[in-house]
């Protein structure tokens, strides 16, 4: 979830679809329906989501320095607590960097809920299991999440440089534009926000021609594992990717699989 956001989505003007190869500025991100997005993409947990969590946790366990707490940023969070759960056990501080006003409000309200939704209980359970036995974790992550997290409204293009130890980004850079140059600029900004030697973790949708939120269409750049690796080779070393659930048909509207990437910032 830029005018940014990987998966934060705002609709184009009524009866006026953005042109082919539309850029980020062609969409009205402030009008994104956060709850509709949550219900569509996370209303029913999917095995591929669980796999992304396990990949992220494994990378977080080995994020340097392994014997210290980390200052972590999640970029383009959208209506999604999964990346925050994955980072929480290693985090000294957790910055939630989100552009869309609707998503900022949704995230702040979600963290203040008296009781976790069943979906979050499921995803936290997967996270806890993946961190065992090295990290004994509580049944309820929300008090810790509230204590460590700061939600900030900001564009991916405005991230400060070399400010965090570790950065995560789940489905953001490819889901806020149909233009390759903007995608590459977003990935560069993401990679540069981490100190040299810091860990980068990112998940991307693949084989996507766009996605729909509350009956409105939004952009998504069609990617492959090879194209993602090529972009990050300029900004990171030790790049590794894992293909998750890539199939010929759509899994949910807007994509047919994931690529999970890890690397060390140059």
Within-domain flag for 15: no
In 10 A of CB 161, how many CB atoms? 10
In 10 A of CB 187, how many CB atoms? 25
pLDDT digits (tens, 9 = 90+) for 230-260: 999 999 999 999 999 865 444 444 556 899 9
pLDDT digits (tens, 9 = 90+) for 45-70: 989 999 999 999 999 999 999 999 99
Within-domain flag for 2: no
184 HSE (CA, 13 A, CB side): 9
- pTM listed for this prediction: 0.89
Cβ atoms of 8 and 98 closer than 8 Å? yes
- CATH value at residue 204: 3.40.50.150
Within-domain flag for 32: yes
Mean pLDDT of the chain: 88
Specify burial of residue 245 (Cβ count, 10 A radius: 0-12, 13-18, 19+).
middle
**Structural domain of residue 142, as residue ranges?**
24-265
Q: Considering its fold, how many domains does the chain have in total?
A: 1
pLDDT digits (tens, 9 = 90+) for 69-79: 999 999 999 99
Within-domain flag for 52: yes
Sheet order of strands, 258-265 included: 149-153, 91-98, 70-75, 164-170, 194-205, 258-265, 236-244
Buried b (16+ CB within 10 A) or exposed e, 214-234: eebbbbbbebebebbbebbee
Within-domain flag for 119: yes
Answer yes or no: is pLDDT of 216 > 50: yes
Q: Average pLDDT in the 90-95 region?
A: 98
Within-domain flag for 11: no
């Amino acid at each position: 979830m830029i005018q940014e956001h990987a998966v934060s989505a705002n609709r184009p003007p009524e009866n006026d679809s953005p042109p082919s190869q539309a850029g980020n500025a062609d969409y009205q991100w402030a009008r994104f329906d956060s709850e509709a997005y949550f219900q569509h993409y996370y209303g029913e947990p999917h095995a591929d989501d669980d796999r992304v969590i396990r990949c992220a946790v494994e990378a977080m366990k080995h994020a340097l320095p392994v014997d210290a707490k980390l200052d972590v940023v999640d970029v383009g969070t959208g209506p999604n607590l999964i990346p925050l759960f994955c980072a929480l056990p290693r985090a000294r501080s957790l910055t939630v960097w989100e552009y869309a006003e609707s998503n900022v409000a949704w995230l702040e309200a979600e963290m203040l809920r008296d009781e976790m939704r069943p979906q979050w209980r499921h995803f936290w359970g997967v996270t806890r299991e993946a961190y065992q036995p090295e990290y004994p974790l509580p049944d309820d992550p929300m008090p810790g999440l509230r204590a460590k997290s700061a939600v900030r409204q900001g564009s991916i293009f405005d991230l400060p440089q070399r400010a965090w130890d570790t950065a995560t980004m789940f489905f953001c850079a490819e889901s806020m534009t149909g233009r390759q140059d903007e995608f590459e600029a977003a990935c560069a900004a993401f990679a540069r926000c981490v100190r040299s030697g810091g860990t980068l973790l990112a998940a991307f949708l693949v084989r996507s021609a766009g996605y729909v939120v509350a009956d409105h269409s939004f952009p998504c750049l069609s990617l492959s594992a090879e194209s993602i690796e090529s972009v990050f080779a300029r900004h990171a070393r030790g790049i590794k990717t894992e293909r998750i659930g890539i199939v010929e048909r759509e899994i949910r509207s807007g994509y047919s699989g994931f690529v999970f990437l890890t690397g060390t910032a140059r």
